[in-house]
Amino acid sequence: MSQDHVANRDHAVGRTVVVETADADATRALGVRLAALLRAGDLVMLSGALGAGKTTLAQGIGSAMDVRGRVSSPTFIIARVHPALGQGPDLVHVDAYRLSSLEEVDALDLDTSLAESVTLVEWGEDKVEALSESRLEIRVERLHGALTGTGAGTVAGGGEGEAALADLEEIDDGRRSVTVTALGPRWADVDLTVLTDLTALA
């Protein structure tokens, strides 16, 4: 079993759970746990440095939601819809990194599908908060290791896109700190402690 560490604390504007995952598999497993809490209409914001593991976490969410297509970095598509294969909601995966204004966000019409889908936005800080007062804000950070070699430069320059980004997440030892903050009435009565089940992240 991976030796993951968990902490809970109050947050000025919401409730926060911090989970430390031991490797990429544990980060995906945390995504699976997160998916069990999600339903149509939910907004999830993912933040973290390039290669921190945002897409790895998103892959766990997409896998558990049973949607069509592999969840990957939407860097060059901006928004990708993964239709549900069963009775659950669709997953809308958005990369807002290249969006420089609220007008560009509005042009995506995310609000039109919000009620029927789970909307997962990377790099959405100060861009998509107006979509919903209730949301999960998730930050993924490295605990050890640093970006080295050509991977970081390749991604920063937009050279090899998704493949380079995937390599970037494997450069360090894989340990991550994942901070999940629940905001708004939707999450007021949701038990976030299910995310701290260490056996699920083994």
Which pLDDT value is given to residue 94?
86
In the chain the first and final C-alpha atoms are separated, in Å, by 4
Which pLDDT value is given to residue 77?
60
Name the pTM for this structure: 0.77
Which pLDDT value is given to residue 25?
93
Which CATH number is 17-187's, of 3.30.70.270, 3.40.50.300, 3.30.470.20, 1.10.760.10? Answer: 3.40.50.300
Return averaged pLDDT per consecutive 10 residues of the chain, 202 residues in all: 46 74 94 96 92 92 91 71 90 80 65 82 78 92 62 39 52 86 94 78 56
Which pLDDT value is given to residue 45?
92
Distance CA 130, CA 115 (A): 14
Give the start-to-end residue ranges of the domains of the chain.
17-187
User: Which DSSP category does 176 fall into?
Assistant: E
Which pLDDT value is given to residue 71?
83
Torsion of Cα atoms, 123 then 127 then 130 then 132, to 10°: -10
